[in-house]
Chain A
Amino acid sequence: DAGITQSPRHKVTETGTPVTLRCHQTENHRYMYWYRQDPGHGLRLIHYSYGVKDTDKGEVSDGYSVSRSKTEDFLLTLESATSSQTSVYFCAISESRDYEQYFGPGTRLTVT
């Protein structure tokens, strides 16, 4: 398995609180991605990074921000969590743009 971990694995938080999810890789891959997975919608791209400090928006970026200060870490922040952000969040990595993606184990986030 690709060396990719996510933390925390589970989190329950209240509406309006900030939340940060962490993705850590040991593969030195250039690309990192954050997805959310919801029933009926499948996986949707939130943000991605193509290098340190290089990030761009995905399909559902509203309400989320990201940062990548080191190759191995990609952080996803919900500035003020809402119930609609209750979801399972997956991080993924890839060597290059048109290579396969390796996914982390996911973080289940519940916003009450």
Chain B
Amino acid sequence: SQKIEQNSEALNIQEGKTATLTCNYTNYSPAYLQWYRQDPGRGPVFLLLIRENEKEKRKERLKVTFDTTLKQSLFHITASQPADSATYLCALEEATGNQFYFGTGTSLTVIP
């Protein structure tokens, strides 16, 4: 069956450290993968998109990698801040068709 799995438990890290979130997928052939941030009671907010032919993307303190052999994406937040505390969602679209799928998310807490 198809599934997208993110860190199974909430992630707590100290301020200033690098947070690494994982997204593993099974039985999908994604054209690209996206990462979103969601705060309680709000809609998701887009952060980064990485395509199947790209290995790495960066935006300010954010970095995402995409390994189609391992079927995995890693999302890094460097120099983390308490304001980075949120739920982070990975999402992918199949290379064939317009179906879009989200993982269940990882709750990140950055401790001051």
Task: List residues of A whose CB falls within 8 A of some B CB.
Answer: 33, 35, 40-45, 48, 50, 56, 58-59, 90, 92, 97-106
Contacting residue for B45 out of A44, A58, A103, A106, CB 8 A? A103
Given A43-B89, A90-B43, A100 and B34 contact (CB-CB distance below 8 Å) = yes
Task: List residues of B whose CB falls within 8 A of some A CB.
Answer: 31-32, 34, 41-46, 49, 51, 89, 91, 93, 98-105
- Which B residues are in CB contact (< 8 Å) with A59? 99, 101
Residue among A33, A99, A100 with the highest chain B CB neighbour number at 10 A: A100
Per the bound structure, the CA–CA distance linking A50 and B99 in Å amounts to 12
Q: Is the interface of B mostly helix, strand, loop or mixed?
A: strand
Per the bound structure, the CA–CA distance linking A90 and B41 in Å amounts to 11
Per the bound structure, the CA–CA distance linking A45 and B99 in Å amounts to 8
Q: List 6 A-B contacts (CB under 8 A).
A: A42-B89, A45-B99, A56-B98, A98-B32, A99-B49, A103-B44
The residue in chain B whose Cβ has the minimal distance to the Cβ of A58 is B99
Given A48-B98, A97-B93, A42 and B105 contact (CB-CB distance below 8 Å) = yes
Closest 5 CB pairs of A and B: A103-B43, A100-B46, A42-B104, A43-B102, A42-B102
